[in-house]
Amino acid sequence: MLKNEILPGIHRVDGYGGAFLLRRDDGEEVEFITITTWSSWDAIERFAGEGHTGAVVPPTARALLARFDDRSEHFTAAWVP
């Protein structure tokens, strides 16, 4: 779903820079963290809406997840290789 539906939609948002998907097996659960990169705060707002703090999790993805964070955390890159 991420490769076929979600990421192609994000690619259409002006200012999207790419994504990383991290996976961690944690006992009976598997945890995923998605890190997206953006050219500006305006680009984030184009994707996530004004205020850009709510997590963007489409209904089809919500149906597959046991739980997810309601809020997104944002960081400014301090160093990029």
Count structural domains, the chain: 1
Mean pLDDT of the chain: 87
Assess if residue 8 is contained within a domain: yes
Assess if residue 71 is contained within a domain: no
Residue of higher predicted confidence among 9 and 33: 33
The answer on pLDDT for 24 being more than 90 is yes
pLDDT in tens, 42-80: 998 888 888 777 788 888 888 888 888 888 888 998 998
Domain that includes residue 51, residue range: 2-64
Half-sphere exposure in the Cβ direction for 57 (13 Å, CA):
18
Q: DSSP label at 3?
A: I
The answer on pLDDT for 81 being more than 90 is no
Return the pLDDT at 14: 93
How far apart are alpha carbons 28 and 40 in whole angstroms? 37
Assess if residue 81 is contained within a domain: no
Assess if residue 56 is contained within a domain: yes
Assess if residue 74 is contained within a domain: no
